[in-house]
Amino acid sequence: MKLFSLLALLFFSVEGFTQTKMGHEAVEMFRVLSHPDVQQCLTNENLDLINVEIAKTSARCLGCNTYEISGYRRSIDMASNEKVFILIKGRAVPGVFRTWIQTYNCKVRDY
């Protein structure tokens, strides 16, 4: 029993450590980029980017966030002149039983 409680304590402490180690912003970006709507948008794009910048804008409505991800396409080992903008707009919509469902729209533009 002592071994089981020690293993459970180690498991939960390591799991909590990894989440706090990444930071709230990294966990939030992982959840946004792993959302099925965003994954579907990004599947056919060549997104091998260098010098990536991420900007987040929050609005007053519930779940209204805009993420702008920009970077340069990688050409062999260097950055090319082609800049890519990924715009992800999130919004929470009412669901069943007074819950909210997060939805995202995604656009990829090349410059």
Q: Residue 38: inside a domain, yes or no?
A: yes
pLDDT digits (tens, 9 = 90+) for 8-35: 655 565 555 445 566 788 888 888 889 9
How many other CB atoms are found less than 10 A from the CB of residue 7? 10
Residue 62 DSSP class? T
Structure tokens at 108: 């990829």
Q: Residue 106: inside a domain, yes or no?
A: yes
Q: Residue 19: inside a domain, yes or no?
A: no
Q: Residue 40: inside a domain, yes or no?
A: yes
Percent helix, strand and coil across the chain, each to the nearest 5: 35, 45, 20
The number of folded domains in the chain is 1
Q: Residue 4: inside a domain, yes or no?
A: no
pTM more than 0.75: no
Q: Residue 39: inside a domain, yes or no?
A: yes
